[in-house]
Amino acid sequence: MVNSFIDEFKRDYLKLYWEKINLSLYGNPVIVYQMPKTGSGSITHSLKKHGVKNVFHLHEITPNHHYSKYTHEIAKSLYNLILEQHLPVKIITATREPISMSVSNFFQQLYSKKGRIYENESIRERVNKGNLTISDLIDIFLSSYPHNYALKWFDDNVKNIFNIDVYSQTFPKEEGFLWLKNDNIDLITIKSENDDSVKEKYISELLGLKNFKIERTNVTTEKKFNLSNKYPEFRKEIKLSQEYINYMYDSEYTKHFYTDTEIDKFKSSWYRKP
């Protein structure tokens, strides 16, 4: 236990050291800044593999975010450079339909033992004991997960931080892409449901890249979090109320980014007849 903590500390320290060197050497950052479970890991990996310098991967840049010491320090550095020193920055954000995002994020937090869910002491005790049933997982998800997280993400993490309001302009729902600019910040929003070829096109336009390709990196990670096939069974067994489904899909967030046809399809995928 102690050795693993020391190893993690060393790993975070070295990552932080090299990232700060990158900032000083290569200047303007590119931030893959997305809510969890929207493909941000694959985009970050692919940009770095393509040779793009100064790529950073964050889910939050607020001072009180819930991630590691490494991401906390990087977030503080970037916050200062962008908002106080006005360093030019290019930011990639993404949407995902909110119930699927919430369920995926819930499982990742439980099995990675990080994030808001795992900070709850009673839940942490239940997880550490192991042998959680599908019924247990459904109970924890419905009672303890912050279900408005995705719905508020752009207000909390984009508007309140960068003074860019994605809801102030009509989002081209069929294209699934919008480019906004405020002073030193260029920010694009992409629907994660888009084909990778569409994401590649818009990211290439933002960064001036040629032949950029997205490689998926989270396939094995997903398997790790879906221990004992609990994730697909969870999706099959959970019964969400019509009130909850409407709350998530009739929200400003969902209606702003998705067509009525898409929303109807999302609703039908979660509705279970009694």
Chunk the chain into consecutive blocks of 10 residues (it has 274) and report each block's average pLDDT, rounded to whole numbers: 45 50 66 94 95 90 62 78 88 98 89 70 76 87 93 96 95 97 96 97 96 80 54 90 97 98 96 68
pLDDT of residue 9: 44
pLDDT of residue 182: 93
pTM: 0.85
Q: 32: phi > 0 → left, psi -120 to 50 → alpha, else beta; which?
A: beta
Across-strand partners of 99? none
Task: State the burial class of residue 220 (Cβ atoms within 10 Å of its Cβ: 0-12, 13-18, 19+).
Answer: exposed
